[in-house]
Amino acid sequence: MNQFAITVLVLLTGAVVGALMEKSSVYLIKQRVNILKHPQFSGSVSKTIFWAIMNAFVWLVFVKLNGLEAKTLEYMMLFSICIILSVVDISIKKIPNELVLMTIFVGGAFVITR
């Protein structure tokens, strides 16, 4: 696969995951509060686009720095999980157990497979 195709694939995948990250953070916030104030990190098309662009470019930086390897995938997954965790924590001051367990699972899976 040539360099251009890898770049486009990483950007598109990162953008889709970024948009899904916003949706999952809203879901996790709604699960933990009874009265949902207007979320500061979501709720508009421009914020969804920001999530997508931010994640896509960070993923691209990881791929450019480390190449397309298993450890790069680990970095990309952990970065995305940590961003969701941060947004939920900033918004409602509660850290979801699901994200902590997912972080442990992803990190552990990559430690075992090395």
* Arithmetic mean of pLDDT, 97-103: 89
CB atoms within 10 A of CB 40: 10
Verdict on whether the full-model pTM lies above 0.75:
yes
Is the pLDDT at 74 greater than 80, yes or no?
A: yes
- Output the pLDDT for position 41: 80
Helix (H) or strand (E) holding 55, with range, is: helix 45-66
Amino acid at site 74: E
pLDDT 10s digits, 41-65: 887 899 899 999 999 999 999 999 9
* Arithmetic mean of pLDDT, 15-33: 90
Spatial neighbors of 1 by CB under 8 A, at least 6 apart, are 9
pLDDT band of residue 96 (cuts 50, 70, 90) is: confident
> How far is residue 85's CA from residue 32's CA, in Å, rounded to a whole number?
13
Is the pLDDT at 38 greater than 70, yes or no?
A: no
